């Protein structure tokens, strides 16, 4: 669990942990705020997301570290390379939000963000959501197929015909449309690429 230093507005990442989800840091911070007088310190995060986009799809979460108030994130006091997974950004882009260690250690903090930040409502009857960016490639392909089927059904209400000249490649080669012709009765399949 990351540690929180209220007087110094510092979040120190876990020792020995190389792969960290930003939502876990945020959740542990919310737990920390509830303890003692910790709620007296400035908020460490501002979060947006969860807004409905229609069709059971919700906007994903973005976490803004409140670095303009002094909050910083630092690695543990050891030689380590850590990756923060999730949409973490500094509130003030011109102000430092990552610190080095106090001692002499070789460290690196890598931010892994995604522009694909949508949540799909689950079909298991529980009404839950699923972060599409966290799915393995096979499950992501299945989720996108389900979404595409919904789009196809909705598009039947709009008269259209469009011929594609070869495969469509999305921004940054993220997805490839394997169908030559958009046919509302055919199955369109998006092939997942790298994020």
Which pair of tokens denotes residue 52?
């409905």
Which pLDDT belongs to residue 41?
Answer: 98
Distance between CA 138 and CA 16 in Å, rounded? 30
pLDDT band at 15 (very low <50, low <70, confident <90, very high): very high
Residue with the bigger pLDDT between 57 and 106: it is 106
Please state, rounded to an integer, the average pLDDT across all residues of the chain: 75
Which pLDDT belongs to residue 120?
Answer: 57
pLDDT band at 50 (very low <50, low <70, confident <90, very high): confident
Q: Give percent of the chain with pLDDT exceeding 90.
A: 50
Distance between CA 96 and CA 88 in Å, rounded? 13
Q: In 10 A of CB 195, how many CB atoms?
A: 13
Residue with the bigger pLDDT between 146 and 163: it is 146
Q: Which of 26-30, 58-62, 113-117, 149-153 has the highest mean pLDDT?
A: 26-30
Rg of the chain on CA atoms, in Å: 21
Which pLDDT belongs to residue 113?
Answer: 84
Which pLDDT belongs to residue 186?
Answer: 41
């Amino acid at each position: 669990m990351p540690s929180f230093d209220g007087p110094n507005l510092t979040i120190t990442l876990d020792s020995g942990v190389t792969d960290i989800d930003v939502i876990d840091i945020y959740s542990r911070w919310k737990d920390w705020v509830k303890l003692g007088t910790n709620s007296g310190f400035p908020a460490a995060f501002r979060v947006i997301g969860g807004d409905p986009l229609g069709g059971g799809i919700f906007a994903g979460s973005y976490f803004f570290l409140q670095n303009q108030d002094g909050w910083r994130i630092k690695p543990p006091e050891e030689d380590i390379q850590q990756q923060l997974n999730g949409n973490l950004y500094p509130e003030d882009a011109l102000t430092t939000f990552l610190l080095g260690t106090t001692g002499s250690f070789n460290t690196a903090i890598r931010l892994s963000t995604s522009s694909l930040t949508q949540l799909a409502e689950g079909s298991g009857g529980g009404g839950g959501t699923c972060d599409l960016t966290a799915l393995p490639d096979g499950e992501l392909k299945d989720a996108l197929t389900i979404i595409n089927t919904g789009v196809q059904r909705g598009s039947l209400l709009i008269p259209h015909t469009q011929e594609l000249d070869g495969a469509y490649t999305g921004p940054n080669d993220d997805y490839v449309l394997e169908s030559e012709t958009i046919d509302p009765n055919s199955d369109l399949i998006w092939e997942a690429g790298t994020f």
